[in-house]
Structure 1
Amino acid sequence: MDRIAIIGGAQLNGTIPVSGAKNSAIKLMAASLLTDEPLRLTNMPRLADTRFLGKLLMRLGVQVTESDGPDGQQTLLHAPEITSGFAPYDLVRQMRASFNVLGPLVARSGQAKVSLPGGCTIGARPVDLHLQAIEALGAKIDLHEGYVYAQAPRGLKGAEIRFPFVSVGATEHAMLAAVLADGVSVIHNAACEPELVDLQECLNAMGAKVEGAGTPTVTITGVPRLHGATHAVIPDRIEMGTYAVAAAMAGGEVRLSNARPGLIDALLDKLKEAGASVEETADGCIIRRNGQRLSAVDIETAPFPGFATDLQAQFMALMTTAKGESRIRETIFENRFMHAPELMRLGADISVSGGEARVRGVDQLEGAEVMATDLRASVSLVIAGLVARGETTVSRIYHLDRGFERLEEKLGACGAQVRRIKGDGEAEL
């Protein structure tokens, strides 16, 4: 199993291009099930998660072709017909978001059998809201032996969908299903994340009639069919925020290109409050820290435009060497402090009580062997390793490969001493 090794102490100086957003790309790929014409997605990340979903889509009848085009990395998806409505557990369990093929399958072909995604290490993430939305649109839902059987032989019907609490995945799933429903659907208490706006823009480019994404109310007027389109995936705000934190942690000057800093204002405000410099540019931003020690600041995770839960672990790593004590409140997932004990192996002073962690900054972290517990936790350990004395080795980095493209290459180009150790012990520089 691969590991990543980091020798701490080097400042970061250079440019890091931000890849396309993983959380958007996988939902846009699912949209290819809605049409018999090709969907071309540009600015596509090459990640374990996109490969997992591509494998599932091919099983369902989608032709998936990756290439380098004039607009960079692209993926062409073409489903002239749905050859199977069955999404098995061995594929769905590898990535929860693959459950979102259910709605498009039912919308286009009238039936689907999709495995429930199973558990998640960062807490309970039930799909009941997803099923309630599909059911509201007229599908008959049955659960049997770990599978969802959904049928709508006469097609889906427009409906009022009211979520009791905000759910990004359920909002996206409802949008994907409702675009081919007969009539008007209104989603109330919809999530407002930028990835929903990206999905709306892609669906509308395919001929859908969706409006309101990015607000709590999304209205979809169903159309009989969708056509092919070309769409550029939005830049990954979590990757952008991760490298912004890494630059603030290690010091130096890093330019983030192909980025939209307005998507992570909550993080950038906290970086400035801590003492880092943030300068917006035409295609991103520049993060600087001149070596002066950062100050501890408090954060509380919240739905967009608040502080993203997917940046909480990275910010905790940053606070481990900040001057003073910071409080970090996690309000989205109930089990998302599993990285704290691993940071403590590096010498961090962290105490966790319920949904709050207190981080008391130390003068120096020490390199050690640590283990990734989930996607964002894995990169928080890499960030801490950038300043830890000696060598830090992070194992179980298959988590990291799900969401960060060419991480060693991007950090290494800015001066970080980071390498991948292949499973057979051979280092890959």
Structure 2
Amino acid sequence: MSKFIINGPSNLSGEIKVNGAKNNALKVLAASLLSKNEITINNIPQIEDVNRMRELLEDLGACVKKREDNLLITSENINKTEIDELLARKLRTSILLVGPLLARFGQAKFPHPGGCVIGKRPIDIFLKGFESLGADIKETKNHYAITAKGGLKGAKIVFPHVSVTATESLMMTATLAKGITTLCNAAMEPEIPAIADYLNRQGAKIIGAGTPCITIEGVEKIGAGSYNVIPDRIEAGTFAIMGVLTNSEIKIADCEPEHLEVLFEKLRQMGAQLEIGDTYVKTKKHNGLHAVDIRTHEYPGFPTDLQAPFTLLLTQAQGMSLVHETVFEGRLFYTDVLNTMGANIIMCDPHRIVLHGPTKLYGKKLISPDLRAGITMALAGLIAEGETVIDNIYQIERGYEKIDERLRSLGAKIERVE
């Protein structure tokens, strides 16, 4: 099993470019099923989650061709509507394929999705949405079978809580439904208007994406064209935190800083020195960090996907901090690992922790439990004294392309060992 070996502490400098967003690329890959025409997806990140989605599409009969950082996908010859169980269990966002299959072919069969161990993440919100659009759902021991023999019909869908993936899924599904669909209490993450803009260019009629209320007027069919995956705001935020954490002068290029305004505000409150341009962020030397409190929230609030790296940063700040995770269950358990490295973190309950800093960290042998906790362990290795070994790095490589090579280009002492 592959592992990272990191020797710290590291002094970093230079420029690191942000790749295409995982959470945008996976959605446009699913959207390719809505049309039989060929789509070209540019700036696609070379990460494991994208590889798994590609395998799922190919298993359904799509033709997928890779050219450097581009993918060309033709879904004209889809030959089945059942999502492969073994592949689906490796990727939770496999559920995004269900809506496009249902909308275009009137049926879909799928197992309970897998891929991520954070919390329960039930799929009821998806199933109720499909039912609202007129679909019939039958559940067996291991699968769900969904049919819409008379076609999908527009409806008003009120989400009981904000869900990014459900918003994207039902927005795509309603694109080919008859009549008008309204999504209320919709998520507003930047990836949502990005995919809506692409669908509209291909003939869809979507209004309000990026706001809490989205209206979709169904059309008979849509085309396909070229799509540029937007920069990964979570990757950009991770690198900004890394620059402050290591007190290094780093330029994070090819990003969209306006997607991370709450993060930058919190960094400034801590004492970080930042230079922010239209498409870049520079971290500069600071004179020490002060403790702050954070509370995760759906966009435009503090991103839950940056909570773990930011918590690591708080271990190096002077004073007491409170971290309140409001989006997912079970997303604070990694803090036990930071404590073994020397952090002083107390878990109040499954959603809140209190930190006292600063604390010196020491290298340990670790196992990455999930994507965001895994990259946090890698960042911890950059400031820890001695050697840090991280196993199960597949979890990190689900979302960060060639992260060891990119960190080495900044001066990090990190090696990937097979």
Please give the range of the TM-score, normalised by the shorter of the 2 chains: over 0.9
- Report SS of the residue matched to 2:383: coil
2-structure distance, mates of 1:265, 1:282 = 12
Pick aligned residue for 1:228 from 208, 224, 228:
224
Q: Confirm whether residue 57 of structure 1 aligns to residue 57 of structure 2.
A: yes
Q: Which residue of 2 aligns with 1:307?
A: 302
Superposed CA offset, 1:288-333 (max 9, x none):
124x321111110000000000000000111112111111000011
Superposed CA offset, 1:9-44 (max 9, x none):
222111110000001110110011010101111111
Number of aligned residues: 417
Q: Where do 5+ consecutive residues of structure 1 fail to align?
A: 423-429
Could you tell me which amino acid in structure 1 is paired with residue 100 of structure 2?
Answer: P
Q: Confirm whether residue 344 of structure 1 aligns to residue 339 of structure 2.
A: yes
Pick aligned residue for 2:311 from 313, 316, 335:
316
Pick aligned residue for 2:93 from 78, 90, 97:
97
Pick aligned residue for 1:353 from 336, 348, 356:
348
1-structure distance, mates of 2:84, 2:193 = 30
Asked if structure 2 preserves the Cα contact closer than 8 Å seen for 1:32 and 1:79, the reply is: yes
Asked if structure 2 preserves the Cα contact closer than 8 Å seen for 1:338 and 1:373, the reply is: no
Superposed CA offset, 1:368-391 (max 9, x none):
111211110001111111111111
Q: Which residue of 2 aligns with 1:77?
A: 73
Asked if structure 2 preserves the Cα contact closer than 8 Å seen for 1:37 and 1:228, the reply is: yes
TM-superposed deviation, 1:81: 2.7
Pick aligned residue for 1:262 from 240, 258, 265:
258
- Report SS of the residue matched to 1:328: strand
Q: Which residue of 2 aligns with 1:415?
A: 411
Q: Which residue of 2 aligns with 1:29?
A: 29
Asked if structure 2 preserves the Cα contact closer than 8 Å seen for 1:338 and 1:377, the reply is: no
1-structure distance, mates of 2:334, 2:201 = 40
Q: Which residue of 2 aligns with 1:15?
A: 15
1:19-418 superposed matches below 5 A: 19-68=19-68, 73-118=69-114, 120-290=116-286, 292-354=287-349, 355-418=351-414
TM-superposed deviation, 1:282: 3.4
TM-superposed deviation, 1:119: 8.2
- Report SS of the residue matched to 1:87: coil
Provide the TM-score with structure 1 as the length reference: 0.95
1-structure distance, mates of 2:395, 2:339 = 20
TM-superposed deviation, 1:396: 1.2
Could you tell me which amino acid in structure 2 is paired with residue 300 of structure 1?
Answer: R
- Report SS of the residue matched to 2:361: coil
Superposed CA offset, 1:168-201 (max 9, x none):
1111110110000111111011011111111111
2-structure distance, mates of 1:148, 1:412 = 45
Q: 1:110 to 1:238 in 2, by over 3 A?
A: same
**Runs (4+) off by over 4 Å:** none
Could you tell me which amino acid in structure 1 is paired with residue 129 of structure 2?
Answer: A
Cα root mean square deviation, aligned: 1.1
Q: 1:49 to 1:118 in 2, by over 3 A?
A: closer
Q: Where do 5+ consecutive residues of structure 2 fail to align?
A: none
Q: Percent identity?
A: 40
TM-superposed deviation, 1:121: 2.0
